[in-house]
């Protein structure tokens, strides 16, 4: 039965990709980019897990994780197909004053540089080691607003290619580009998404189909390669050490096929432990993620912060029940943590996120709402990380994006808001 669910996942992923490739402008829409990540991240691990499940994973647990993967992938399309709510669209269609928007973007850029400079000094003071539980965490949090500034100036430059807009785009894009060059996967994806979606929203530029298909194939190989090389990838590229890159790629692909370390195996154990203990989170696990991100232990105390969290099924639970330890640097995946919260109904969260993205897409493309465009650009990467790292991670980043974009929209709004 596991092979049947695996093959069904293949069909669902291909269906999501076909939905986008048939009309290429759909590549920027929720079902396609989520389908591309299911295909490039979840599907290869599904094949490896079926081939090498490990002695501790029962056939029932293997079938469960594959079935839930199918449900989550299908929910991405089903939620997106629900008819949008006109009242939501009216609220999203906020008219902004572009002069105020420029000032808001400039303020965010200055804030981003300030906190990134403080972060660099903190790292230098600790001999190049980024220690958790320090002020560096706060600096990283507030320094990330520079991505919103970059999105603002990039849209403004494409609409009105003035010198001041171009200069601010370069300045605000410098730090994001630096994170790309040190080989970080999510910032790289975010940077590419910002440029691609901006070109579509402003100039309706669409890459050819062959480029889209080639990119998906490349992502399938680059995800494990980035994990293998970490910050060395671009150093090897710029040094022209292609043989080392090829060797690392073969090593990463072979390791994935061998299946010794798989995020989907983490998900299978977490789901099985939740099923047998009955400790479903009902949203408490996502609450724990929000508390972890937004409650500063340095200020309120780490014991108080810990008291706000539930932590029902933990890595210690897996070690006690199965003798399994989650490998360092791996994640529970969105497939795993959605099930631990609501069981088989956890897949609905992927549909609800898709339903929200449908409203953002209509507002950004057809109503040309700048606020919706900024939200859309900022939420694509968290939605995709929701698959790889977990829905809890999506809520962490979504709250950040929505909060700061709403502040920008509130400051920049015009006195009168005409809804179409």
CA angle 11, 17, 22 (to 5 degrees): 120
Rg of the chain, C-alpha, whole Å: 22
- Helix, strand and coil in the chain, % to nearest 5: 80, 0, 20
The answer as to whether 278 is a domain residue is yes
Each residue's pLDDT tens digit, 43-92:
989 998 988 887 678 999 999 999 999 999 999 999 999 999 999 999 99
The answer as to whether 296 is a domain residue is yes
How far is C-alpha 321 from the geometric centre of its chain's CA atoms? 31
Q: Helix H segments across 131-162?
A: 135-143, 145-159
How many CB atoms within 10 Å of residue 54?
Answer: 15
The answer as to whether 28 is a domain residue is yes
DSSP letter (8 states) at residue 26 = G
Judged on CB neighbours under 10 Å (0-12, 13-18, 19+), 310 is middle
The answer as to whether 341 is a domain residue is yes
Three-state SS annotation for 58-123: CHHHHHHHHHHHHHHHHHHHHHHCCCCCHHHHHHHCCCECHHHHHHHHHHHHHHHHHHHHHHHHHH
Q: What is the three-class DSSP state of 194?
A: helix
Q: Are 315 and 328 in contact (CB under 8 A)?
A: no
The answer as to whether 266 is a domain residue is yes
The answer as to whether 110 is a domain residue is no
CA angle 231, 38, 50 (to 5 degrees): 100
The answer as to whether 60 is a domain residue is yes
Give me the pLDDT at residue 105, please.
Answer: 95
Distance from C-alpha of 364 to C-alpha of 151, rounded to nearest angstrom: 14
- Domain holding 256, by residue range, is 2-86+211-351
DSSP letter (8 states) at residue 219 = H
- In sequence order, what DSSP letters do the residues of 220-238 get, joined into one string? HHHHHHHHHHGGGHHHHHH
> Which positions of the chain have pLDDT values less than 50?
418-420
Judged on CB neighbours under 10 Å (0-12, 13-18, 19+), 157 is buried
Q: Are 36 and 14 in contact (CB under 8 A)?
A: no
Q: Are 44 and 229 in contact (CB under 8 A)?
A: no
| Tokens encoding 234 | 């671009």
Q: Are 35 and 17 in contact (CB under 8 A)?
A: yes
Number of domains in the chain: 1
Give me the pLDDT at residue 191, please.
Answer: 87
The answer as to whether 307 is a domain residue is yes
Give me the pLDDT at residue 306, please.
Answer: 87
| pTM tops 0.95 | no
Distance from C-alpha of 332 to C-alpha of 264, rounded to nearest angstrom: 7
């Amino acid at each position: 039965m596991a092979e049947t669910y695996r093959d069904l996942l293949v069909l669902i992923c291909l269906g999501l990709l076909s939905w986008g490739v048939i009309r290429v402008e759909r590549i920027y829409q929720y079902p396609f980019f989520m389908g591309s990540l299911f295909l490039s991240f979840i599907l290869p691990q599904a094949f490896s897990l079926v081939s090498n499940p490990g002695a501790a994973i029962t056939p029932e647990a293997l079938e469960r994780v594959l079935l839930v993967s199918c449900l989550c992938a299908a929910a991405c399309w089903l939620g997106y197909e629900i008819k949008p709510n006109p009242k939501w669209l009216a609220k999203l269609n906020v008219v902004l004053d572009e002069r105020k928007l420029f000032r808001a973007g400039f303020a965010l850029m200055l804030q981003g540089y300030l906190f990134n400079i403080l972060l660099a000094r903190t790292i230098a003071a600790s001999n190049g080691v980024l220690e958790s539980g320090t002020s560096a965490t706060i600096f990283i949090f507030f320094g990330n607003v520079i991505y919103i500034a970059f999105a603002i100036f990039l849209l403004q430059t494409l609409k009105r290619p003035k010198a001041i807009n171009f200069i601010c785009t370069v300045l605000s894009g410098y730090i994001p580009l630096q994170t790309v060059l040190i080989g970080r996967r999510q910032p790289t994806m975010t940077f590419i998404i910002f440029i691609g979606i901006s070109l579509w929203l402003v100039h309706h530029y669409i890459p050819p189909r062959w480029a889209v298909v080639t990119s998906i194939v490349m992502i399938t190989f680059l995800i494990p390669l980035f994990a293998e090389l970490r910050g060395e990838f671009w150093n090897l590229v710029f040094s022209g050490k292609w043989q080392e890159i090829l060797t690392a790629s073969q090593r990463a692909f072979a390791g994935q096929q061998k299946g010794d370390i798989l995020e989907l195996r983490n998900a299978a154990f977490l789901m099985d432990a939740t099923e047998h203990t009955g400790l479903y989170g009902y949203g408490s696990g996502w609450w724990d993620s929000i508390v972890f991100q937004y409650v500063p232990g340095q200020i309120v105390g780490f014991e108080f912060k810990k008291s706000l969290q539930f932590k029902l099924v933990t890595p210690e639970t897996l070690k006690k029940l199965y003798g399994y330890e989650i490998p360092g640097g791996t994640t529970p995946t969105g497939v795993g943590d959605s099930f631990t919260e609501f069981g088989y109904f956890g897949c609905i969260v992927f549909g609800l996120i898709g339903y929200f993205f449908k409203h953002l897409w209509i507002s950004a493309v057809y109503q040309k709402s700048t606020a919706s465009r900024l939200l859309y650009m900022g939420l694509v990467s968290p939605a995709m990380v929701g698959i790889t790292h977990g829905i809890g991670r999506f809520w962490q980043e979504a709250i950040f994006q929505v909060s700061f974009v709403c502040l920008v929209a509130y400051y920049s709004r015009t006195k009168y808001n005409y809804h179409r």
